[in-house]
Amino acid sequence: MDLTTPPPDLYGRPGPDPFMRRVTAFGDWYPKVMGRPLLRRRPGLPAPRPTPPLQLAVSGHRLIATDVVELRLAAPSGGPLPAWQPGARLLLTLPSGRERHYSLCGDPADPAGADTYRIAVRRIADGGGGSREIHDDLHVGARLTARRPRNGFAFCGEPAVLLLAGGIGITPLLPMAREAQRRGLDWHLIHAGRSADSMPFGDELRALDPKRVTFLTGVPSAADLLARAPKGAAVYCCGPAPMLAVVQSAFDASPARALHFERFGAAPILGGRPFAVQLGADGPRLEVPAERSALDVLREARPELPYSCHQGFCGTCRVQLRSGTPEHRDRRLTEEERAAGALLPCVSRAPEGETLVLDL
Ligand code: FES
């Protein structure tokens, strides 16, 4: 066997790839079974103890761009934190009890940084208060907890890589750029933002290789984003929904071959129809228009309702259904939980004209 010549399909095959189809199918299937035990516990055996949350303290807090703070988090007594890979996110529980996901943007390969997590947070003035709390109320020494880093946007290290960041979507892509540079990959990163002063990490990116980084201000077109894709490249994209929509719609006509993306903010509502939610058996009935989520409408009446991902995977916004027929669109609840009336109103809806009565 010739071990010196790489097989022609080592880095992928042109056209539809059965392996990638299986990966995608696994990605669709895995979250649905996350909440179910894969192996049944033998009767009499104690339930496995849940992993305790990480106890963290703020070790750094500074403004690094307009409306963007960098937060450094460490164990209160020092020492290494659980390892992570580019693309990983941290679910933080803030002192107020709000839960928020943030991508880690440090360097996981740097041993000197093994005792610190770094995140960057943009202030969302009209958001749910999580970013305002981080900007205004968290100071060095403040305590908070987190779940261990999880990665739903893993970097696969393909030989040619195009990294597309919209605004604060640069956070998971910065460690990927570092990793691509370290591995000697053919990489390019495009960071689009509303203005130069609102885009963090410019110096760090230029220090990697200024020729491999492009900064764009304003709203980028598909050509702006994908024209640099090398033939057969893998594209990693993180940004707001309109940017992802542009990339997805133009992707098939580009020379790139694989698309990995992570969205922040709410997923676009596809095929939404108007319906209503009612707060309790005798409470007010609120109309949910076709282009809005039930969570958005509910939070106008109940601003304290918790949420985190806005995308139907974290379970934070869970409410209890009293009556009505929902259309579950989440990737979190099990069939049993749905049958028991659980509902995630950030993504789930109802048929046109239906009223969902909620225990609120
Ligand atoms: S906010 Fe995460 S599932 Fe609704």
What is the CATH T-level fold of the domain 275-359, as seen in this structure? Answer: Ubiquitin-like (UB roll) (3.10.20)
For residue 210, give every residue at least 6 positions away whose Cβ sits within 8 Å of its Cβ, in sequence order, or none.
Answer: none
| Residue that wins the pLDDT comparison between 206 and 271 | 206
The dihedral sign for the CA sequence 193, 197, 198, 201: positive
Using CA atoms, how far apart are residues 44 and 96, in angstroms rounded to an integer? 38
CA of 348 to the centre of ligand 1 (A): 10
Query: Do 182 and 109 meet the contact criterion of CB atoms below 8 Å apart?
Result: yes
Query: Do 225 and 164 meet the contact criterion of CB atoms below 8 Å apart?
Result: yes
**Candidate from 298, 316, 320 with most ligand 1 atoms within 8 A of CB, to mutate:** 316
To the nearest 10°, the Cα dihedral for 266, 131, 69, 140?
-140
| Residue that wins the pLDDT comparison between 53 and 314 | 53
Atom of ligand 1 nearest to the CA of 308: 1
241 SS3 class: helix
Using CA atoms, how far apart are residues 349 and 288, in angstroms rounded to an integer? 9
Greatest extent of the chain over all pairs of C-alpha atoms, in Å: 76
Query: Do 159 and 185 meet the contact criterion of CB atoms below 8 Å apart?
Result: yes
**Residues within a 6 A CB radius of ligand 1:** 307-310, 312-317, 330, 332, 344, 346
**Candidate from 34, 314, 320, 333 with most ligand 1 atoms within 8 A of CB, to mutate:** 314
CA of 230 to the centre of ligand 1 (A): 36
For residue 201, give every residue at least 6 positions away whose Cβ sits within 8 Å of its Cβ, in sequence order, or none.
Answer: 64, 105, 120, 170, 174
pTM summary value: 0.72
Phi first, then psi, for residue 192 (nearest 5°) are -105, 135
pLDDT over 70 at 3, yes or no: no
| Homologous superfamily assigned to 52-264 | Translation factors (2.40.30.10)
29 beta partners: none
* pLDDT per position as a tens digit, 228-270: 898 899 999 999 888 988 998 898 899 998 888 887 767 778 8
Mean pLDDT of 270-295: 94
pLDDT band at 16, cuts 50/70/90? very low
CA of 313 to the centre of ligand 1 (A): 6
CA of 266 to the centre of ligand 1 (A): 9
| Residue that wins the pLDDT comparison between 306 and 103 | 103
Point out the least confidently predicted range of 8-12, 115-119, 277-281: 8-12
* pLDDT per position as a tens digit, 101-127: 999 999 999 998 899 999 999 999 888
CA of 80 to the centre of ligand 1 (A): 30
* pLDDT per position as a tens digit, 138-176: 999 999 999 999 887 889 999 999 999 999 999 999 999
Atom of ligand 1 nearest to the CA of 344: 4
pLDDT over 80 at 218, yes or no: yes
pLDDT over 70 at 315, yes or no: yes
pLDDT at 2: 37
For the record, the structure tokens of 205 come out as: 């990116």
Mean pLDDT of 89-110: 93
Atom of ligand 1 nearest to the CA of 313: 3
Mean pLDDT of 290-317: 86
CA of 206 to the centre of ligand 1 (A): 36
CA of 164 to the centre of ligand 1 (A): 25
Atom of ligand 1 nearest to the CA of 312: 3
* pLDDT per position as a tens digit, 193-212: 999 999 999 999 999 999 99
Atom of ligand 1 nearest to the CA of 295: 4
117-133 per-residue burial string, b: 16 or more CB within 10 A, e: under 16: bbbbbbbeeeebbbbeb
CA of 277 to the centre of ligand 1 (A): 17
* pLDDT per position as a tens digit, 21-45: 343 334 444 433 333 444 445 556 6
Q: What residue segments make up the domains of the chain, in order of their start?
A: 52-264, 275-359
Atom of ligand 1 nearest to the CA of 314: 2
| Residue that wins the pLDDT comparison between 97 and 36 | 97
Using CA atoms, how far apart are residues 208 and 212, in angstroms rounded to an integer? 8
**Candidate from 100, 297, 346, 348 with most ligand 1 atoms within 8 A of CB, to mutate:** 346
Q: Comparing C-alpha atoms, which of 220, 108, 230, 94 is closest to residue 169?
A: 220
pLDDT at 316: 81
CA of 204 to the centre of ligand 1 (A): 33
